[in-house]
Chains A and B, each alone.
Chain A
Amino acid sequence: MSDSWESADMMNVAAARELHDGDVCLVGVGPPNLAANLARRTHAPACRLVYESGAIDARPRRLPLSIGDDDLAATATAVVSVPEMFNYWVGAGRIDVGFLGAAQIDRFGNLNTTVIGDHDNPRTRLPGAGGAPEIAASAGRVIVIVKQSPRTFVEQVDFVSSVGYGPTGRERRARGAGPTLVITDHGVLEPDPDTNELTLTRLHPGVTVEQARQATGWALKVADSIKQVDPPTAAELTALRRLRNREPVDA
């Protein structure tokens, strides 16, 4: 097998590395699902996966295709109703890490998953808020996984579906710490400690600061000392490939 990899692999691997043993992680569809299950199969076998469908401590044997797969309920410690999940678990602050995606993100980590254009007459109707607003508000920390492009990294989001640090970076009132990491296919952005402006702090292997700037719809702030992300290991790539092929964990 070749150990070649693509920027999307690096993004998923970088996201997985941010989960630690014991973390309670709320998992949504798409890249978050891949990252969380990758963490569980590599360095963080004891991280706890919670799915908004109600499965608590799910241990899926194969990568679930949806958040409601039967394998999640079958392997969970507890399965709770959706109101219970959002009131007693998410809203109450029992989630350490929430992974979110977005169609648009601004420099203060505010996220749009609702519409492109006007809400009443949108150019593009997106899926909507789902579980994200409460995860963004109440999870201990939020990790946004999103590919970087000027269409996605915009000066102003068309609709605030989930709040990061607010319109000027100073309006966050929620319980959790907000989007502490934004992991892209170019690198990693973190909020500036003083202003909460997303700042490029790490670059993936082979990516330049200039490329990251080109992929951002605002004048991207870059940290003074930028770190290099380690490339994916063979073990990470193997686990990622097996997850994508939906191979059972014990096969």
Chain B
Amino acid sequence: MPRPVPLGEAIAAHVHDGDTVALEGFTHLIPFAAAHEIARQGRRHLTLVRMTPDLVYDQLIGLGVADELVFSYGGNPGVGSLHRFRDAVERHWPHRLVVHEHSHAGLANAYVAGAARLPFAVLRGYRGTDLEEQRDIVGRVTCPFTGEELAAVKAVNPDVAVIHAQLADRDGNVMLWGITGVQREAVLAAQQAIVTVEEVVDEFPERTGAVVLPNWVLSAVCVVPGGAWPSYAAGYSVRDNDFYQQWDAVSRDREAFLAWARENGLPTTEEVGAHV
């Protein structure tokens, strides 16, 4: 899709109730604006996939968007807990959240297998951990060549991947750089991919270590400057560490969280409830 489309249009076209959706970006380039648009449109019953749920999923979980979560580290980096995530797991508010958890290596490899359209990935980790008890997503295989027993993780193939990148060109190819996390794998593992970008340029700059995603693996490109705030886009913005600190107090209290949602025009469970 070479022409940039408005974000609202892209979400409406590609993200549906009940979908499995991966919003990726490892600390850097987290697609917050797209997440808020998903919430704004009242999407429900999503299975959210993300290595580090971070504030972005804390917000979506608190708003009642997700029924299930696939993840590997659910903390507020450098600050503490994700209180909306904890409230959903510990006290089922706004409703129960079912969790499927991996290690970082496990979920990263589950995306790799998904991108390769393989049924599973192998790694050495997991052995002896209680993560192995999740038999629907973690198993063991024996190497056919050496006999070594290895961990297997089921591939992740989201219905939709959503990422934020620095640049698109006029043809709708996308470029991102800096900490590129697991975005290439998430996009290629998914059936559909939506990318928000800082800006559109005539020609991509020379960038060591950049990831370029051709337009024909993407479903929609949307120009959303600052779409990663309060995370950051290297070369465009810096991480808003104050917001990450302040979120602790906002998210700790249900009323403070609901007030934050109202201020930002994000519908909560009660407001969307009519059609749930």
Interface residues of A (CB under 8 A from B): 29-30, 52-55, 65-70, 72-74, 78-79, 81-83, 86-87, 90-91, 114, 119, 122-125, 127-134, 137-138, 159-163, 166, 171-175
Contacts and interface: CB of A to CB of B under 8 A. Distances in A.
27 contacts: A53-B181, A54-B180, A65-B239, A67-B77, A68-B26, A68-B231, A70-B28, A70-B239, A79-B178, A79-B179, A79-B209, A82-B108, A82-B182, A83-B109, A83-B182, A114-B130, A119-B130, A122-B89, A125-B74, A127-B81, A128-B75, A128-B101, A129-B104, A131-B105, A132-B103, A133-B125, A163-B129
A160 B86 contact: no
Nearest to A78: B209
Contact of B128 (A73, A81, A125, A173): A173
B102 interface: yes
Contacts of B71: 128
B28 to A, nearest CB: 5
A45 B111 CA distance: 36
A53 B112 CA distance: 16
A81 B183 CA distance: 9
B96 to A, nearest CB: 10
Top 4 nearest A-B pairs (CB, nearest first) are A68-B27, A130-B73, A127-B75, A86-B105
B81 to A, nearest CB: 8
B142 interface: no
B130 A91 contact: no
Contacts of A174: 124, 127
B104 A68 contact: no
Given A125-B89, A131-B105, A160-B130, 14 more contacts: A54-B181, A65-B77, A82-B104, A82-B182, A87-B105, A91-B124, A119-B133, A122-B89, A125-B86, A133-B103, A134-B103, A138-B125, A159-B130, A160-B129
A68 B182 contact: no
A144 to B, nearest CB: 16
Contacts of B74: 125, 127-128
Interface in B54-108: 71-75, 77-78, 81-82, 85-86, 89-90, 101-106, 108
A220 to B, nearest CB: 24
Contacts of B127: 137, 163, 173-174
Contacts of B101: 114, 128-129
B104 to A, nearest CB: 4
Contacts, number: 167
B179 A83 contact: no
B234 A129 contact: no
A131 B112 contact: no
Interface of B: 26-28, 51-52, 71-75, 77-78, 81-82, 85-86, 89-90, 101-106, 108-109, 111-112, 123-131, 133, 178-182, 184-185, 209, 211, 231-232, 234, 238-239, 241, 244
Of B105, B112, B211, B239, chain A has the most CB atoms within 10 Å of the CB of B105
A130 B73 CA distance: 5
A161 B130 contact: yes
A74 B129 CA distance: 35
B145 to A, nearest CB: 18
Contacts of A119: 130, 133
B130 A86 contact: no
Contact of B234 (A70, A78, A83): A70
Contacts of B124: 91, 134, 137-138, 174-175
B102 A87 contact: no
Contacts of B232: 70
B51 A82 contact: yes
A171 B27 contact: no
B77 A66 contact: yes
B181 A73 contact: no
Contacts of A172: 128
B104 A65 contact: no
Given A54-B26, A81-B184, A129 B129 contact: yes
Most B CB within 10 A of own CB, among A55, A69, A138, A172: A69
B26 A129 contact: no
Given A79-B180, A81-B184, A133-B131, A90 B28 contact: no
A66 B131 contact: no
B129 A161 contact: yes
